[in-house]
């Protein structure tokens, strides 16, 4: 008897959640080769998504769910190795190694990184610079190359620091009098590369301004055709030659009291900001899904400024998935209550190439809400589901009869 509830729980757990509610879909551009692809979530798609961007799936032609990882084009930085041409590399002459490196762009640098084959040795060297490769000037009179022994790789990077300079040529002269030459594979410089965020424009339906001289305020309302994700707003303002105004951005919110009455004047603060004649004002929201926003400017006794336009943007967002050649794919959009999927793929984010092809999507088709299979399981057949329901009913009936009998027996 004690095991019966677990049996019932097993059968019942198989019934709900076997499908997802889909309200719209869009085709994905054809895939001509197998590999990782990005599918951009344009504003016409994102306006249908929930705040977690989770009510969307990639389906193949058979309706099978394809795992993906979600990506946002936020600002990022990375370190790259920029290799410099080695135009001369000689050893054995006067028991010295001569290494001439060219800084073709005459970039201002203060270090050179040498990639060297592992060697348990310490050597001294000098560094010179030249504009023509003929006349040399000292940069670092004597320094040591040591600890050329990596425990993880067969090579070691040795960084040579020196005063800031922009010579086109650099000469490293290494003393080989006490040992054989080092095997120097390449030379270059590690650089931090900053990548700016990438945005796409969100269309604005209307913008209106109302000025209150009595309150010393201006009210600017920006409206959209529907609720839209907005990550950034750029304000185009006209005023006197010099102005500086404190302002705040709000979202209008309709509240309903206990009697069902709505209060449309309530506002939710999104961001404080300052409008100034000496710079372009941009407001980062990151992100907010709004149907309209209201900018309130504090003018006090100064004449109102005029907000000519508001450019609204959202971050570029992508679904990254491994797609197969000549297989048709589509995006399926669910209702806002659909939970975000949980896949293994995000654990392998570092495997995605930086230059991944981007696929576009076709027209979005809106459909009456329908349930589609979330995957092929034993319980996807309707006959099996009904059989399971019948079994559950029978088990419950048997349990009830036994319970009555046991109760009657204990009463005697």
User: Mind listing the domains of the chain with CATH numbers?
Assistant: 1-18+378-412 (no CATH), 19-69+327-376 (no CATH), 79-195 (2.60.120.260), 200-315 (2.60.120.260)
Name the average pLDDT for the chain: 86
Mean pLDDT of 307-314: 96
Question: Around Cβ 198, how many Cβ atoms within 10 Å?
Answer: 13
pLDDT of 245 above 60? yes
Find, among 174, 167, 155, 157, the residue nearest to 110 by Cα: 167
pLDDT of residue 408: 66
Beta-bridged to residue 332, according to DSSP, are 25, 57
CA angle, 245 then 246 then 247, to 5°: 115
Which pLDDT band, with edges at 50, 70 and 90, does 80 fall under? confident
Question: Around Cβ 102, how many Cβ atoms within 10 Å?
Answer: 17
Which pLDDT band, with edges at 50, 70 and 90, does 372 fall under? low
pLDDT of residue 377: 43
pLDDT of 124 above 90? yes
pLDDT of residue 52: 92
Find, among 334, 362, 371, the residue nearest to 44 by Cα: 362
The residues, any chain, with a CB within 8 Å of residue 234's CB and separated by 6 or more, are 280, 281, 282, 310, 311, 312, 313
pLDDT of residue 192: 84
Q: How many residues does the chain have?
A: 412
**pTM for the predicted model, two decimal places:** 0.68
Question: Around Cβ 22, how many Cβ atoms within 10 Å?
Answer: 20
Q: Are 289 and 253 in contact (CB under 8 A)?
A: no
Write out the two tokens for 287. 């992100």
d(CA 129, CA 109): 12
Which pLDDT band, with edges at 50, 70 and 90, does 219 fall under? very high
pLDDT of residue 203: 94
pLDDT of residue 302: 94
Least confident window among 29-33, 112-116, 275-279, 376-380 = 376-380
Share of the chain above pLDDT 70, in %: 85
d(CA 236, CA 248): 16
Which pLDDT band, with edges at 50, 70 and 90, does 114 fall under? very high
Mean pLDDT of 54-66: 95
pLDDT of residue 260: 65
CA angle, 173 then 175 then 176, to 5°: 125
For the stretch 160-205, pLDDT in tens is: 999 999 999 999 999 999 899 999 999 998 888 888 999 999 999 9
Mean pLDDT of 146-159: 87
- Give the phi and the psi of residue 328 in degrees, each rounded to 5: -85, 135
């Amino acid at each position: 008897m004690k095991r019966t509830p677990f049996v019932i729980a097993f059968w019942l757990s198989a019934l709900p959640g076997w499908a997802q509610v889909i309200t719209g879909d869009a085709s994905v551009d054809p895939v001509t080769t197998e590999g990782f692809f990005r599918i951009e979530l344009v504003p016409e798609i994102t306006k249908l998504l929930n705040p977690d961007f989770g009510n969307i799936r990639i389906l193949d032609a058979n309706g099978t769910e394809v795992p993906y990882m979600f990506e946002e084009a936020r600002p990022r930085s990375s370190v790259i190795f920029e290799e410099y041409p080695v135009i001369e590399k000689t050893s054995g002459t006067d028991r010295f190694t001569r290494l001439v490196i060219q800084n073709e762009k005459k970039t201002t640098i203060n270090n050179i990184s040498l990639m060297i084959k592992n060697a348990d040795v310490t050597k001294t060297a000098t560094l010179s610079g030249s504009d023509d490769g003929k006349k040399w000037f000292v940069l670092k009179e004597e320094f040591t190359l040591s600890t050329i022994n990596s425990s993880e790789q067969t090579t070691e990077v040795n960084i040579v620091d020196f005063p800031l300079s922009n010579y086109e040529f650099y000469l490293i002269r290494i003393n080989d009098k006490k040992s054989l030459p080092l095997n120097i594979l390449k030379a270059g410089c590690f650089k931090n590369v900053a990548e700016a965020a990438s945005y796409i424009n969100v269309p604005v339906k209307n913008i209106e301004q109302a000025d209150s001289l009595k309150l010393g305020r201006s009210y600017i309302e920006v409206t959209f055709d529907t609720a839209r994700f907005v990550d950034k707003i750029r304000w185009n303002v006209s005023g006197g030659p010099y102005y500086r105004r404190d302002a705040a951005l709000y979202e209008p919110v309709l509240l309903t009291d206990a009697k069902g009455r709505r209060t449309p004047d309530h506002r939710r603060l999104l961001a404080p900001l300052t409008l100034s004649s000496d710079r372009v004002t941009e407001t980062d929201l990151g992100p907010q899904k709004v149907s309209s926003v209201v900018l309130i400017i504090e003018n006090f006794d100064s004449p109102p400024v005029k907000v000519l336009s508001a450019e609204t943007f959202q971050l570029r967002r992508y679904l990254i998935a491994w797609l197969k050649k000549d297989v048709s794919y589509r995006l399926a959009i669910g209702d806002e209550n659909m939970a975000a999927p949980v896949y293994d793929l995000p654990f392998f984010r570092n495997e995605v190439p930086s230059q991944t092809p981007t696929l576009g999507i076709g027209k979005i088709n809106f459909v009456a809400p329908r349930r589609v299979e979330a995957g092929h399981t034993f319980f996807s057949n309707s006959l099996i589901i009904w059989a399971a329901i019948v079994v559950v009913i029978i088990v419950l009936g048997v349990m009830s009869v036994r319970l009555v009998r046991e109760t009657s027996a204990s009463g005697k």
